[in-house]
Structure 1
Amino acid sequence: MVDEERAGEVVDTPPERKSRKLPLTAVAVVLLLALGIGGYLWQSRQPASGGTGESTPKQAKVELYLPLDPAFVVNFRDAESLRYLQVGVTLMSHDPAAIEVAKAADPVIRDALVALFSNQDFAIISDAAGRQKLQADALVAVRRIVKARLGRPGIDALYFTSFVMQ
């Protein structure tokens, strides 16, 4: 009879416990996603810095080249004989205004470089260190001319595109 009473009676089963792991996981994922996006935005607004502590430009500037044609040809005398030097020179700058100034001052630049090249000693410029010093001296001469006209050096590099001695 007890079984019959229980048969008619609806037994309340305890309600199933809902899993709280799903909402907690969803909140954690949303929180991590928000922190990641915030960190990315914060980092992208910070100025980029190199290893030297200087800030790098946001956009890399284009290198502009100006070949000084025709090549420079000079004669110079050493202890033994008359020597011949032919040097092809190209200027490089990131500043378009400096390139325009160098184009306008081409005769002045050529004169300064011819004077520099013709006053060289064959024994010095016949090795690599001498050529590098000559290249550095030529860059200083060109920068001086451009700075006098533009107010800033403007020329970043000077390259010897050919170097023939005889």
Structure 2
Amino acid sequence: MANEEQTAAAPAARKRRGPLLIGAVALLALAGGGYVWRTQKAAHTPASRQAESKVELYLPMDPPFVVNFRDGDSLRYLQVAVTLMAHDPQAIETAKSADPVIRDALVSLFSNQEYAVISNAAGREKLQKQALEAVRKIVQARLARPGIDALYFTSFVMQ
């Protein structure tokens, strides 16, 4: 009789483990699904979009600008290679489409310089800031935001 009680208790214990095992597997599946959902949601947050937009995009303004200007009685030449930098692809596309307008503004700016001013580092930095402001103004008129983050002189030759 003791043997019959032990065999009856054994199937009852097995029956109790089945729902418990199924519940544990279901709980793990839900936890795993929740983890996947949360990581996918985090990948599409504004912070992740900002991280993606941290990529620097460059637009060289080719060919380089060549202008002449007067220095007293002599005629001087200035050759400047300009590259624009932005984090916004739309700003780069806008600058590409506005290339003739940007080139016109920069030629006007460069040709109105004085040799004594741009022959030193402080004068070149000031000219670089003025050029960036001119480009931002043009891009902002078309895109409704400045868009261009920096303007670099990749070559600067005066003669």
Q: Does 2:130 correspond to 1:137?
A: yes
* Structure 2 equivalent of residue 119 of structure 1: 112
Residues 23-38 of structure 1 correspond to what in structure 2 (within 5 A)?
A: none
Q: Structure 1 residue 147 and structure 2 residue 140: aligned?
A: yes
**Distance in 2, Cα, partners of 1:87 & 1:70:** 9
Q: How much does 1:58 deviate?
A: 5.8
In the TM superposition, what is the alpha-carbon distance from 1:132 to its structure 2 partner? Answer: 0.2
Provide the aligned C-alpha RMSD in A.
Answer: 1.8
Secondary structure of the residue aligned to 2:148 is: coil
Q: Give percent identity, aligned residues only.
A: 76
Return structure 1 stretches of 4+ with deviation > 6 angstroms.
none
Aligned to 1:97: 90
Aligned-partner Cα distance in 1 for 2:100–2:77? 21
State the 1:80 CA deviation.
Answer: 3.4
**2:39 equivalent in structure 1:** none
Tell me which residue corresponds to 1:59. 51
1:69 aligned onto 2:34: no
* Bigger Cα displacement from structure 2, 57-66 vs 103-112: 57-66
Task: Give a deviation string over 1:116-149, Cα, whole Å, max 9, x none.
Answer: 0000000000000000000000000000000000
Note the residue ranges of structure 2 that are not aligned, 5 or more in a row.
1-41
TM-score, length basis structure 2: 0.68
Distance 2:56 2:153 in 1: 16
Deviations 1:7-47 (A, max 9, x none): xxxxxxxxxxxxxxxxxxxxxxxxxxxxxxxxxxxxxx9xx
If the length of structure 1 is used for normalisation, what is the TM-score?
Answer: 0.65
Higher share of residues assigned helix = 2
Give 2:80's match in structure 1, choosing from 87, 94, 101.
87
| 1:110 equivalenced with 2:110 (yes/no) | no
Aligned residues: 113
The letter of the residue matching 2:96 is K
Aligned partners of 1:110, 1:121: CA distance in 2, in Å?
A: 19
